[in-house]
Amino acid sequence: MFARLLTRPRPLLAHRTFATTAARAAPARVARQSVAPSAPLGVDAALDPTAASSPSPKIFDEFSLRGRVGLVTGAHRGLGLEMAVALAEAGARVYCVDIHKQPDEEWQRAKQYVGGMGDGRSLEYVQGDVTDQQGMWEVGDLVGEREGRLDVCVANAGVLKPGEDCLEYPADTFDEVMKINVNGVLYTAQAGGRQMRRFQKPGSIILIASMSGSITNEGQPWVSYNTSKSAVKQMARSMACELASEGIRVNSLSPGYIYTKLTAAFLEPQPELLAEWSSQNPMGRLGRPDELRGVITWLASDASTFCTGSDIIVDGGHRAW
């Protein structure tokens, strides 16, 4: 039966349609390939006579941000400052943007710490309101004028409002969360991306989302926050597809519960809630701010040049359950 099917004549019309389609098909194009910024690397370096004659590790060069410039919003304290310090330690000059007019002592000490490492590393503070699109574009212009480049943009500023019944949630509160967590992220990404386009340099834009953009936190009525973080993830995917041809990568980073000073102030009066949150992931604890240092540096650096449009989850396995 199978043989008969193979030899059965096909209708003439179908044959003509196939022939016409084949004749009009465009020739296949060979996709343009890329070369690593630090090439040759790995096995290619081992096989390269020049590199093999004086071998040296390249992996640290791939993670290096030496000579590069970063912008991080919400970097007056907390996770934003932690990420800014990590980028600076990797070699970058980092502009910390926040709504406060002046940074506090904690930020000043971080600046002094980074500056003491030398080799061009620095933290600079710029006041900015992420809900002001023109203002954020001007912050980007300021960095561009000073540095002649902007390589890394981290849209971290965000807010979580006290829980409300979703059916009674106030419109003004919902709008406020959206303005900061969604509009503010877009305006920040625009501020960074416009400078990358201006100087025609590849760059990395990192949008800070949350595991709450993929799941609903058990027992927490956070409809505005969860909605906003889901929007951030889709924003990253959309921007990644638009900007890839310009060498601009866009990814989102989704942390789980992280034990920051602000989190501690919220949880310490409620030890039962701390125990509950800790039990909701296989590791049985909340994350530390420093546990985001590696992933933010990887996303910002040449070590992740084929990663765009992705959501990187760092939640201690919370979503695995």
Q: Which residues contact 164 (CB under 8 A, 6 or more apart)?
A: 170, 173, 221, 223
pLDDT of 261: 86
267-271 average pLDDT score: 89
Instruction: Reply yes or no on whether the pLDDT at 2 is more than 70.
Output: no
- Residue 201 is assigned to a structural domain of this protein: yes
Domain range for residue 164? 59-314
At residue 260, φ and ψ (nearest 5 deg) are -90, 175
Ranges 10-24, 126-140, 154-168: which has the least confidence:
10-24
Instruction: Reply yes or no on whether the pLDDT at 284 is more than 70.
Output: yes
Instruction: Reply yes or no on whether the pLDDT at 11 is more than 50.
Output: no
Which ranges of the chain would DSSP assign to H, the alpha helix?
2-7, 12-24, 42-47, 49-53, 59-63, 78-89, 105-115, 133-147, 171-178, 184-198, 223-243, 261-267, 271-279, 293-300
pLDDT of 13: 44
- Residue 285 is assigned to a structural domain of this protein: yes
- Residue 43 is assigned to a structural domain of this protein: no
Structure-token match 């006290």, residue found: 162
Instruction: Reply yes or no on whether the pLDDT at 237 is more than 80.
Output: yes
pLDDT of 25: 57
Query: What pLDDT band is residue 9 in, cutting at 50, 70 and 90?
Result: very low
pLDDT of 7: 43
- Residue 15 is assigned to a structural domain of this protein: no
171-194 average pLDDT score: 98
Ranges 31-35, 68-72, 170-174, 237-241: which has the least confidence:
31-35
For residue range 95-116, what is the model confidence (pLDDT) as tens digits?
999 999 999 999 999 999 999 9
pLDDT of 26: 56
Residue 320, CB half-sphere, CA atoms under 13 Å: how many?
A: 10
Q: Say which amino acid occupies 264.
A: A
- Residue 44 is assigned to a structural domain of this protein: no
pLDDT of 30: 64
- Residue 129 is assigned to a structural domain of this protein: yes
Catalytic site residues? 210, 225, 229
- Residue 212 is assigned to a structural domain of this protein: yes
Residue 38, CB half-sphere, CA atoms under 13 Å: how many?
A: 17
pLDDT of 321: 86
For residue range 129-147, what is the model confidence (pLDDT) as tens digits?
999 999 999 999 999 999 9
Dihedral angle of Cα 164, 166, 168, 174, to the nearest 10 degrees: 70
DSSP string, 211-278: GGGTSPPTT---HHHHHHHHHHHHHHHHHHHHHGGGTEEEEEEEE--B--HHHHHHHTT-HHHHHHHH
Instruction: Reply yes or no on whether the pLDDT at 23 is more than 70.
Output: no
pLDDT of 45: 92
Instruction: Reply yes or no on whether the pLDDT at 313 is more than 80.
Output: yes
For residue range 192-221, what is the model confidence (pLDDT) as tens digits?
999 999 999 999 999 999 999 999 999 999
Cα–Cα distance, 252 to 233 (Å, whole number): 6
Question: pLDDT above 70 covers what percent of the chain?
Answer: 90
Mean pLDDT of the chain, nearest integer: 91
Q: Quote the number of domains for the chain.
A: 1
- CATH number, domain of 238, equals 3.40.50.720
9-38 average pLDDT score: 58
- Residue 321 is assigned to a structural domain of this protein: no
